A and B are shown apart, each in its own frame.
Chain A
Amino acid sequence: MIKFTLRRLLSGAVLLLVVTSASFFLAHLAIGDPTAGLLGDSATPAQRAALREQLGLDRALLTQFWDWFSHAVQGDFGTSWRNFQPISDQIALRVPVTLSVVVAATLLAAVVGLAVGVATGLRPSGILARGLKLASVVLFALPGFWVSLVLVMVFAIKLQWFPAVGYVPLVHSGTGWLRSITLPSIALALGAIVMIAEQLRNGFLQVNNQDFVRTLRARGLSSRRVTLHVLRNASPAALTVLAVMFVGLLGGAIVVEIVFNLPGIGSLTQSASQIGDIPVLLGLTVVTVVFVVVINFLLDLVLGWVNPKVREQ
């Protein structure tokens, strides 16, 4: 188990290293000279050269990379090129907002997806199962922000059950916080819910046909107990989808946050990309990839617990 854990941690670290360095070079090569974006079109060449020197952009790219990397591993992502604020502070301020929404969406997807998946798995041709099939076809492809707009129109503007925009921090008001993240979380979670439910339903169909289920029944176990066995066998695929969905949710959150005007990493990412603020973009990339690595690691632990064969690989 220790070996298993260490290996997963190592592969996570490698992924983090590869993705962040790739992002560094991609950003620098794609953006080229960011001073145009930072200073605007009216800047003179001399002003731009001065800024380049100030930002250290006149150095060799590898030197810049090493400089950034050696600080980044200590959690220091430098300062924003626009307002010279420390990036770590800005991100730390915004991460709780995004995490609130994404974690709430993930929990929602896991719980509701599990419930719908089990219900449809037990009655694979019931009304709920037909509804799920229809919903999974459509909701898989519809983007989160599209769903957000619909939710805002119906629940925030027509029915006025929830605020249309804005964020209330948890420390200010628990119910206010919950109300402010409800619609964004639902908008993000809907697609994931149907995907997870669909995976579970298919898993149930497959596992139900396996011999050991009949043998468990022949031992006299109740339907409820047999269902628990089936669920455990059917869950790895759904768990994997959940982890993939989490990555998608992080990306989707960027647009959804803007729809709901939430001060998360979404608006920071958008503004940083518009002016070519590379250090901010890189800091955001590192943070998101760290989340992904952590989630994948947790998934591996859970998968290892669910399926004993995985542990030995």
Chain B
Amino acid sequence: MTDAAFPADITPSPGKQGLWARYLRRPAGVAALAVFLLVVLVGLFAPLIAPHDPNFVDFALTQTPPAPGHLMGGDSAGRDIFSRLLFGARTTLYGAAVACLAGVALGVPAGVAAGYFGGPADRICSWISDAAQSVPGMIVLLIVAAGTGGDFTVLMVTVGAFMAPGYYRMSRSKTLAVRNEPYIDAARVAGLTHTKILYAHVLRAVHAPVIIQSALTAGVAMGMQAGLQFLGIGTASNPNWGQMMNDGFRTMLTHPLILLWPSAALGVTIAALAFMGSTLGDLVSVRTEPVSRRARPAAPPRDEGARSGDLVHAVEDSALRVENLRVTYRTPDGDKQVVRGVCLDVAPGEVLGIVGESGSGKSQTVFSTLDLLPAEGHSTADGVWIAGRPVGDLPRAKRHALLGTRIGYVPQEPMSNLDPCYTIGNQLVEPLRAVHELSKDEAKERARAILVRVGITDPERVLASYPHQISGGMAQRVLIAGAVAGNPSLLVADEPTTALDVTVQAEVLELLRELQQEYGMALVIVTHNFGVVADICDRVAVMKDGKIIETGPVDQIFTQPGDPYTAELIHASQDDTESRAELDAAWNKAGRTVRT
């Protein structure tokens, strides 16, 4: 096994352009970098550019205002403030560098080891890191200062030690993330040693965050350093900003300028580092920034392209009717239409299936009829009718008043659709009280009754449980209970069985059918599974690429699909069942030792 090219090829590259190239396109980042570089240059060349010896005392200069030759005047001891400021940059940078190095040296190796190897090493290091965060650093710093006579380097190493937990947690979590990537397993299987994997993959993942963290740490370390110097600790003969601030502070009432200069220098330097860190952080983490209302996609044009789908009921006879629905999403590559001119309707007591593969726009169709598209989405339609009444042009609040009263919604993934922080009882009772204005006791009674109705045998226990304490199948029953609790005339179910075990799927489907008949609801059910369609639907709309390509009664769709795509879909789901059966058979044959 050669250990050259292989790692480099599979590691995901952070971006098409180099980080620095992208950084240099951010004005705030460039300005901050320029300021910081200026401070660095000043620090490096202070002996060359400073007009005076920073420690030379000229009593005539004491507390004088700025003048030619002494740009910032003199301090309380008669020294040139400008020269001291320049030399102070040196001290500040040196201290920050020492603190960062100490923080990196203590935190990063421990974090990488804890994240990579896990186990006891992880627990011990994490405990130490947590404990270090509970120790007020300033007191320890003062103890160290007392012991070392205020040795500046030792103090800054101690500051770095208190910064180490930050590095530790960051590198641990980055390493953990990389460690769980398949390519690390691949590298391990391929015979790379731990050292090589750490070097090739983990360091690559950790180094950019370390730089960002260092920018922030350096800023904080400068603040702490100045704080210590302000207290008169670590003031050797080296001029420094903290001690200058103390000098200015004591003469603040009479000579505020003496305080202003070093405060401004410290503030600007720290701010520059903070902006560098935050700009880099933005570039690396590529956080998705929210879309503002103004930045929403433009309303999709109403008449672009043809309508698709059939309307079979009269407006006044329909539970839901949608005409020429279009949904546009804002993506980084521009606006994208995901639903194009969909028309559909469903009558009370009727079950309509919307079928299609993922990405066909079926869920988006459902969300826009509920008016619950995410912020990036925008929908328009020639008309939306609920229970025969037009609602498309209603104000948002009135439209939302239909939710939970006229319309019930059953989501796809049961566990993620319950609020983890509240009990089931709480989540069922709250809408009944807030929306339906039942009393507390009435609402509880109704919640219990509806849970019994959806087939939960011990409603008291479930009402008192939190979502993570019940099974997925039970959670879906709870969600169905929540959807029908408000007696809706229209029930919208988005892939209600997809996330469930095969055995539970049939039960949940049966429950939905029972409830639909009992309440006389119209049911719109989104699915990719023709088994579900055959089980429960009266009519089917087949969607592809945001359009309905075929609508019809279930029998007709199955026996004489009008579109080759429909036939293909039906065929595919049958294939699926066969292969599943074959797998099960193979599993049983192998004595259930083979994990499927």
Q: Which residues of A contact B (CB under 8 A)?
A: 15, 18-19, 23, 26-27, 29-32, 37, 124-126, 137-138, 140-143, 145-146, 149-150, 152-153, 157, 205, 209-212, 214-222, 225, 229, 232-233, 244, 247, 250-252, 254-255, 258-259, 269-270, 272-276, 281, 284-285, 288-289, 292-293, 296, 306-309
Contacts and interface: CB of A to CB of B under 8 A. Distances in A.
B435 interface: yes
Interface in B233-290: 233, 245, 249, 252-253, 256, 259, 263, 266-267, 270-271, 273-275, 277-278, 289-290
Nearest to A276: B146
6 contacts: A18-B131, A30-B144, A137-B277, A142-B270, A146-B266, A289-B136
A211 B143 contact: no
Contacts of A145: 226-227, 230
Nearest to B165: A244
Interface string B372-414: 1010000000000000000000000000110111011101110
Contacts of A152: 252
Contacts of B417: 211-212, 214-215
A153 B256 contact: yes
Given A221-B435, A251-B139, A293 B404 contact: no
Nearest to B218: A141
A307 B422 CA distance: 8
Nearest to B408: A218
B278 A137 contact: yes
B290 A124 contact: yes
Q: Output the residue of A146, A153, A157 with the most chain B CB within 10 A.
A: A146
Contact of A27 (B131, B143, B483): B143
A292 B483 CA distance: 46
Contacts of A288: 136, 139
Nearest to B428: A219
A220 B291 contact: no
B520 interface: no
B419 interface: yes
The binding surface of chain A is classed by DSSP as helix
A146 B404 contact: no
Interface of B: 131, 133-140, 142-148, 216, 219-220, 222-224, 226-227, 230-233, 245, 249, 252-253, 256, 259, 263, 266-267, 270-271, 273-275, 277-278, 289-292, 295, 367, 370, 372, 374, 400-401, 403-405, 407-409, 411-413, 416-422, 430-431, 434-435, 466, 468, 479, 482-483, 486
A23 B231 CA distance: 21
A281 B142 contact: yes
Contacts of B482: 215, 219
A20 to B, nearest CB: 10
Given A15-B131, A19-B134, A270-B142, A125 B289 contact: yes
Given A125-B291, A229-B419, A292 B136 contact: yes
A73 B413 CA distance: 54
A31 B138 contact: no
Contacts of A141: 216, 219-220, 222-223, 270-271, 273-274
Given A153-B252, A212-B417, A138 B134 contact: no
Nearest to B401: A220
Contacts of B147: 26-27, 29-32, 276
